[in-house]
Structure 1
Amino acid sequence: MIRYQREEEDSGEQLDRHWNELLQELRLAQTGTQILFAFLLSIAFQNQFHAADTFTHTVYAATLVASALAVALFLAPVSFHRIVYRQGLRDRLVIITDWLARAGLVFLVAAICGGVLIALDVVMSRTAAIVIDAAVLAWFVTFWLAIPAYVRATREPEPHD
């Protein structure tokens, strides 16, 4: 369950706050992911794309699927909420949709890196494109995972009354 609670909140208010915070985060992620997905769909219909090699087609397919999965995961909380609305399941809703959002971020990073690799592969050598793409992935891992994990691990313990 959720570990931290503000003193002035009861558990229902805390769940509402967590749900609203999650919705705000998802609004941002959904928009960018849907735009990326739409852009990726259009690539396959470009004449030059048909002449691309197997590597490009494979990266494209994996990127398109990762993008579709990210869209599905970012939209899943809406469906989940509709199905469990007024069932007294807000505690489960918040926990499960948190995991859906986290999984969506993983697929979003995969889709972004795939898109970067496809684009860079057109304008530079494949080796350079792969190296730069690995650096982009490292950048995401650093700012989306490593730094938050470090901050979380080194936070000061909260005083207990």
Structure 2
Amino acid sequence: MTQEVRRKGRDETEEERADRMWSDLIQEVRVAQTGVQILFGFLLTVVFTPKYDGLAHTDQVIYIVTVILGASATGALIGPVALHRLVTGRRVKPRAVRLASRLTFVGLLLLLATMTAALLLILRVATHDGFVAWLIAPVVAWYLLCWFGLPLWVRRRHTHR
């Protein structure tokens, strides 16, 4: 009696795999888009508050950099939607999924930078102290662990070749 060899993974065509991966990617992007859009919307209002004029020049520069990072993150995280819309029906979905995945990754990096800069600005204004970096560092380390460290560890440990 011969033992049946079980295949690992899914039995799907390249197009079916692209469809599944696209669906997964869009769900992921929705979560990140919501966060970045709320943060970006908040950032856009700060310049119109009376307190903005009283900010130190350095804090105003940090604010401007934060807004630009937020706008860039928003663009990168909305990019996959525009990409999909413009290439739908062109039979390039596997390539579009790879490009959208890269845009999403860049968007996450930009979101990390935006959140770090926003924390820097808020904590500088709130504390007026030199220990702001010590407050931000553990938060950024936590983001890095949650967003990149743990996923990469799982990928390395549990991916079968």
Deviation at 1:156, TM superposition (A): 5.4
Q: Which residue of 1 is the match for residue 87 of structure 2? A: 84
- Normalising by structure 2, report the TM-score: 0.89
2:160 is paired with a residue whose SS is coil
- Does 20-29 or 111-120 show the bigger shift? 111-120
Percent sequence identity over matched residues?
Answer: 31
Q: Is the deviation greater in 88-97 or in 51-60?
A: 51-60
What's the RMSD between the two structures over aligned residues? 1.5
Q: In the alignment, what sits opposite 2:138?
A: 135
1:152 aligned residue: 155
Match of 1:42 in 2: 45
Secondary structure at the aligned position of 1:154 is classed as: helix
Task: Provide the C-alpha distance between the structure 2 equivalents of 1:153 and 1:59, rounded to a whole number of angstroms.
Answer: 37
Deviations 1:112-147 (Å, cap 9, x if unpaired)?
111111111122143222221122111111111122
How many angstroms apart in 2 are the aligned matches of 1:97 and 1:145?
A: 18
Which runs of 4 or more aligned residues in structure 1 lie more than 3 Å from their structure 2 counterparts after TM superposition?
Answer: none
Which region of structure 1 is more displaced relative to structure 2, 64-73 or 145-154? 145-154
Given the superposition, is the C-alpha separation of residues 65 and 135 from structure 1 closer, same or farther in structure 2, using an over 3 Å criterion? same
Report the count of equivalent residues. Answer: 154
Corresponding residue number in structure 1 for 2:56: 53
- Residue 93 (structure 1) aligned with residue 96 (structure 2): yes
Choose which of 122, 125, 132 in structure 2 pairs with 1:122.
125
Name stretches of at least 5 consecutive residues in structure 1 with no aligned partner. none
Q: In structure 2, give the amino acid aligned to 1:84.
A: V
In 1, Cα distance between the equivalents of 2:23 and 2:129? 43
One-letter amino acid matched to 2:67? L
Alpha-carbon offset, residue 7 of structure 1:
3.0
1:35, CA displacement in angstroms? 0.9
Q: Do the aligned partners of residues 45 and 83 (structure 1) sit closer, same or farther apart at CA in structure 2, a change above 3 Å counting?
A: same
Distance 1:31 1:102 in 2: 16
Q: Which has the larger radius of gyration?
A: 2
Alpha-carbon distance in structure 1 between the residues aligned to 2:82 and 2:49: 34
DSSP 3-state at the match of 1:41: helix
| Equivalent residue, structure 2, for 1:18 | 21
